[in-house]
Structures are given as C-alpha cells and as structure tokens.
Amino acid sequence: MATLTARLYNLTEGVRIALDALRANRVRAGLTILGVAVGVFAVVGISAAVHGINESVARDFESAGPTTFFVSRFPISFEACDDSGETCRWLRNPSITMPELEALRRLPSVEQAGARMDWSVAAKFRDKTLKSVGVEAYTGNWGSLSAPDIQPGGRAFTEMEARSGARVAVLSTITAERLFGEGDPVGREVQLNGSPFTVIGVYKDNSSFLSGGSRPKAVIPILTLNRTLNVRLWDMGLAVKPRPGVSTAEAVDEVEAAMRGMRRLRPVDPANWAILTQDKLMSTYNQIFGTMFLVMIALSAVGLLVGGVGVVAIMMISVTERTREIGVRKALGATRATILFQFLVEAVTLTGVGAFVGLLGGWGLAAIVRAATPIQASVPPLAILAAIGASVVTGVAFGMVPAARAARLDPVEALRFE
C-alpha cells in the first residue's frame, strides 16, 4: 500500500521532472530522443511497409490457389548477364508453345493448364485515350484458373471465343473508370492499338502492386493477342493446376518429364524452362524480407544504443545536480526503492518521448507510402507494442546505473553536497 501510493506519485512526478530536465538539457535530450526515435522509426516504418507488401502478396497467392504452379520461359533471376554466352544460359531457352500446353493438359496429374502472356497497348474510347494499358492475354480457361472477380452484368470470354480469337475484352475496374467514367462499358467498343474490341465485362483487379495491381488492365484471349494485335507469343507462361489429391511436387515431376520428352533433352541437359511453385516464390520472398528485417533490427539497435548512451549521460547529470534533493527526499522517508523507481521513471520518460517521435515518423512514412505508391502500408499494432517495449527496455537498462547511484546515496552526505 505504502509503496503503491509512493510509486503512483513518483510516476506522475517523475514524468514531469523528466520533461523539465528535457527542456533544460536540449542538446543532450535531443540526441537521446533522436537516437530512440531512429530506432523506433526503423522498426515501425519498415514493418509498416512489409506489412502492406505482405497483405497484397498474400492476395496474389490466394487468387492463384495453393497448389497451382507456373511454367515459364525464363526463371526469375538476379544474375548479371553479359554477352560471353557463359552467363545466363537461360537467355537461350526456347519459347513455350501451344502444342506443349496441349500436351501438358492431357497429363493425368493435371486438372487444368492455361497460358498467359502480358503485353501493353494503347486503349481508346471516343475521345479518351489511355497510353499504356496492361494486356493480360489468356487461354479460354482464364475464368476457372484464376477466378477473376467479374462485376455483375459482365462475363469472362468463353472457350469458343478464345479458340476463334474473338475481339472481346474484359476491362479492369481502373481501365473502365478511366475510359467510361460512370457509364457502363459492357457492350461498348474500345480500340486497343487501333483494333476494335467489344467489352464483355469488367473485373476487379485484386493482384498486388508487385503484379501491377494499380495499373489499368484489359484481359483478352491469347489467340486474339497473336492474331489481331500481331504479337508473337515469345514469352508465354503456363499456369498448371494439379488434380485434387495430387501434390504440387508430383505434378511438377510429371510436367518436367513431359517437357523433357517433348524437347528431346538428354538426362544430362539442364531444363530449358523454369518452374515456379508457390513454395519457391514464398521462400524467395521471405529471403528478401528476411534481409530487410535484419537491416531494420540493426538500424534500430544502433538508434537505441545512441539513445541509451544519451539516457546515461542525462541521468548522470540529473543525479549529480539533484544530490541535495535526493538527500531531502531520503530525510523525508524515501526508501532506496522509491528513489530508484523515481529515476527509472525519468529515464523511461526520456526514451518514451523518443519512441513517440519515432512512432509519429513511422506513421507519417506509412501515410506517405500509401499516398505515393500502391503499397497499402499500415503500422501493425504489434510494431507499436514492440516500439514501446524497446523504448521502455532501453530506458530501464541504461537508466539503471544512474538510478542505482541515486538510490545508494547516503542521506547525510547528500544533504551536505553543495
């Protein structure tokens, strides 16, 4: 009871005194706050960005289905290529062809396989032009492979339309809005690179910014891309969905074997195509963000260390300056524990102000990122807790030495101190 009352009082008083001390020692306090703020800012800012990216990437995975994997001409690579022919052998990979797709479709472990190729065109409706619209060209089973979110009143193209290379297009909501405003685009005719296409539907693009989710897009049959827009299908990629009950690994094995057979590769030859499973995608992704996470930890550790040293300096000065006050408090009945607690509260207040500044900064950064980029950055509640926790731990750890010195002072000596 006695200690609780004293602690509560010490808490409010300690915070007030610490804020006073802060005003009195602007430079030192500024440095301390800056250090802690940088530490907290690093944690909050980066985790807000990662949080935003995570959410949108999770959406990408969701829309594809968990076992679906991708066969593409080129691997995802960060290799630096030169002209020697020794590096980046994959540059010589042949295109994936329609007959190959047909063969894969017939494999027993495969439920469905579809092709996709991305392109970019100019779209025009009456006097409105969009210079760059991302075209995603698919085979007829687009609708069942990636389950697009088609708005009421519209539809995806049919297998028939796909096989005949019909000039039909499904616009993303962004494209529809920019070309038609409030009007209903379904049934209207748009020009894609000068060729007329009938709009048969509008879909909501749920892909992440990594997959160009913020870009205006149009979906057309892949044959139409080839025939009407005269685009050679040099970079066609396949999405393969295994049958229910078949694991991704089994289906991948079967696809690999079939591809080797079709391309007449000897067992010693490396595969001249790339397979990307969601597991692999996920681990690549985790690698990148693992690095970001380490950078974040390092930055915040340095910041908190600088802040911690500042806390020691300020608190040491504070204890020396207030030796007499400590003597008086002890004369009036303060115990070691109350004095210790009082100075720890002051130290934590210092770091707490830093944490507050850092949180505001991180939050501001998240807001800027949200406004300026398609990343839906938001500060996760856990990061706020971590930031507050880190600042409290820093305050207590670095404030302990000065606080213990204050608590150990002999009251008679302290009262005599000039």
Partner 1 sequence: MTDDELARVRNKEIGFVFQTFNLLPRASALANVELPLVYAGVPAAERKERAMEALTRVQLGERVHHKPNELSGGQRQRVAIARALVNRPSILLADEPTGNLDSTTSEEIMRVFEELADQGQTVIMVTHEPDIAAHARRVVVLKDGVVSSDEPKAVFQARIAQGGKAH
Among 73, 116, 330, 405, binds partner 1 (CB under 8 A): 330
Give min distance, CB of 349 to partner 1, in A: 15
How many Å separate Cα 95 from the centre of its chain? 32
Contact 47, 365 (CB under 8 A): no
Among 9, 74, 234, 417, binds partner 1 (CB under 8 A): 9
Q: Of 19 and 281, which CB lies nearer to partner 1 in the complex structure?
A: 19
Question: Cα separation of 81 and 400, whole Å?
Answer: 55
Among 288, 295, 331, 385, binds partner 1 (CB under 8 A): 331
**124-218-222-64 Cα dihedral, nearest 10 degrees:** 170
Give min distance, CB of 394 to partner 1, in A: 26
Question: Cα separation of 383 and 182, whole Å?
Answer: 40
Give min distance, CB of 318 to partner 1, in A: 13
Collect all residues with Cβ–Cβ distance below 8 Å to 378 and sequence separation of at least 6: 48, 51, 52, 366, 370
Q: Of 3 and 291, which CB lies nearer to partner 1 in the complex structure?
A: 3
Question: Cα separation of 374 and 378, whole Å?
Answer: 12
Stretch touching partner 1 by CB under 8 A, among 85-93, 257-265, 268-276, 334-342: 334-342
Stretch touching partner 1 by CB under 8 A, among 5-13, 69-77, 115-123, 348-356: 5-13
When asked if residue 374 is in the footprint of partner 1 (CB under 8 A), the reply is: no
Q: 272 in helix, strand or coil? A: coil
Q: 275 in helix, strand or coil? A: strand
Collect all residues with Cβ–Cβ distance below 8 Å to 340 and sequence separation of at least 6: 403, 404, 406, 407
Among 173, 272, 277, 335, binds partner 1 (CB under 8 A): 335
Across-strand partners of 116? 138, 237
Stretch touching partner 1 by CB under 8 A, among 93-101, 180-188, 193-201, 331-339: 331-339
Give min distance, CB of 29 to partner 1, in A: 17
Stretch touching partner 1 by CB under 8 A, among 13-21, 83-91, 229-237, 363-371: 13-21
Q: 66 in helix, strand or coil? A: coil
The CA radius of gyration of the chain, in Å to the nearest whole number, is 32
Kindly state the tokens that stand for 412: 């008679």
Kindly state the tokens that stand for 219: 């979906």
Instruction: Return the sign of the alpha-carbon dihedral for residues 263, 267, 269, 275.
Output: positive
Stretch touching partner 1 by CB under 8 A, among 279-287, 301-309, 330-338, 386-394: 330-338
Among 51, 241, 329, 405, binds partner 1 (CB under 8 A): 329
Interacting residues with partner 1 between 42 and 71 (CB under 8 A): none
Contact 238, 101 (CB under 8 A): yes
Burial class (CB in 10 A: 0-12, 13-18, 19+), 317: middle
Number of other residues whose CB lies within 10 A of the CB of residue 185: 24
Give min distance, CB of 334 to partner 1, in A: 5
Contact 146, 272 (CB under 8 A): no
Give min distance, CB of 304 to partner 1, in A: 29
User: If you write DSSP's letter for every residue of 113-159 in order, what string do you get?
Assistant: EEEEEEEEEEEEETTEEEEEEEEEEE-TTHHHHH--EEPTT--PPPH
Among 328, 367, 392, 404, binds partner 1 (CB under 8 A): 328
Question: Cα separation of 125 and 145, whole Å?
Answer: 29
Give min distance, CB of 41 to partner 1, in A: 32
Stretch touching partner 1 by CB under 8 A, among 95-103, 143-151, 226-234, 329-337: 329-337
Count of residues interacting with partner 1 (CB under 8 A) = 27
Q: Of 13 and 253, which CB lies nearer to partner 1 in the complex structure?
A: 13
Interacting residues with partner 1 between 336 and 365 (CB under 8 A): 336-338
Question: Cα separation of 395 and 373, whole Å?
Answer: 36
- Per-residue binding string, partner 1, 377-416, x by CB under 8 A, is ----------------------------------x---x-
Q: Of 186 and 409, which CB lies nearer to partner 1 in the complex structure?
A: 409
Interacting residues with partner 1 between 268 and 327 (CB under 8 A): 324-325, 327
Interacting residues with partner 1 between 16 and 45 (CB under 8 A): 16-17, 20
Q: Of 1 and 371, which CB lies nearer to partner 1 in the complex structure?
A: 1
- Residue ranges binding partner 1 (CB under 8 A): 1-6, 9-10, 16-17, 20, 324-325, 327-338, 411, 415
